[in-house]
Structure 1
Amino acid sequence: MQRIRRIAAAVLATTALAAGTAAMTTSPAAAATDTRAGAIGTQDIYCGWDNRTTPPTISQGSQGNTVREAQCLLESQGYGVGGIDGIFGPNTRIAVLDFQRDVGIARDGIVGPNTWYYLRNW
């Protein structure tokens, strides 16, 4: 099983920030290595709705928890998807294209094995 990420769902943090509160939590391990109050790294964010090592390929029109995971990971890395709703729409596609450009992989707007790898490990 792929390593388990150590933080509460980024969806809660995103929702809390949208509501005007800063409710991000760090894990004990992250807190021990980072002296900034409330600091969080993307490797510490738990966005796991799908616990498969490589979830199915998703693209515009896809729906469900796998899309939510991709949206959560994109949001946690600063790519706005227009809300984590589980629907792979045009905003999610644009975020995927931007992410793919920034990490230097093929830009196709599809979250396949290569994009999943970078979303989970970038």
Structure 2
Amino acid sequence: MPRGPRSRAAALSVAAGLLLATAPTAAHAAAPAASPVPAAAPQQVRGHCGYYDGQAITRRGDTGDGVREIQCLINYWSGRSVLDGDGDFGPQTESWVAHFQDVRGLLPDGVVGPQTWKSLRAA
């Protein structure tokens, strides 16, 4: 029985589908590219970002690694980058600290003391 154009097209379509289903794709065959990691950024671990291990009282106007640690922990707690990790405790950092304190049942004064440090590291 002679095959018509529709039969040939259907057979080719099935053959092509089988070939594609069994052959690895270029995306799967290629090795994954390594994602760049900034050399200066400490590794984020729950409750610790790696900038600062202390618990000194930290407030608006302070700068440095303690502030970077607070900013990183607030970002981790919020699930997104709401604060720049610039190490400058400005009005936005103060506002987010007060929000964090309020949510955690602490006095929302925007000052990071021992209780807030403890709560940030447990978040």
- Shorter chain as normaliser: what TM range? 0.5 to 0.7
**Residues 84-120 of structure 1: CA distance to partner in whole angstroms, max 9, x if unpaired?**
1000001100100110010011111000000000000
Map residues 11-90 of structure 1 onto 2, 5 A cutoff.
Answer: 43=46, 46-52=48-54, 55-78=55-78, 81-90=82-91
**1:118 lines up with 2:119 in the alignment:** yes
| Equivalent in the alignment of 1:105 | 106
| Equivalent in the alignment of 1:32 | none
How many angstroms does 1:48 deviate by? 2.0
CA-based RMSD of the aligned residues comes to: 1.9
How many angstroms does 1:51 deviate by? 2.3
Q: How many residues align?
A: 81
What's the TM-score once normalised by structure 1's chain length? 0.60
**Structure 1: stretches of 5+ with no match in the other structure:** 1-7, 11-41
Q: Would you say the 8 A contact 1:80–1:95 is kept in 2?
A: no
Structure 2 counterpart SS, 1:77: helix
**Residues 47-105 of structure 1: CA distance to partner in whole angstroms, max 9, x if unpaired?**
021123xx211000000000000100000011754311000001100100110010011
Task: State the alpha-carbon separation in 1 of the partners of residues 53 and 83 from structure 2.
Answer: 24
How many angstroms does 1:9 deviate by? 2.1
Relative to structure 1, the CA distance from residue 89 to residue 9 in structure 2 (aligned partners, 3 Å threshold; closer, same or farther) is same
Task: State the alpha-carbon separation in 1 of the partners of residues 48 and 108 from structure 2.
Answer: 25
Q: Would you say the 8 A contact 1:80–1:91 is kept in 2?
A: no
**Structure 2: stretches of 5+ with no match in the other structure:** 1-41
What's the TM-score once normalised by structure 2's chain length? 0.59
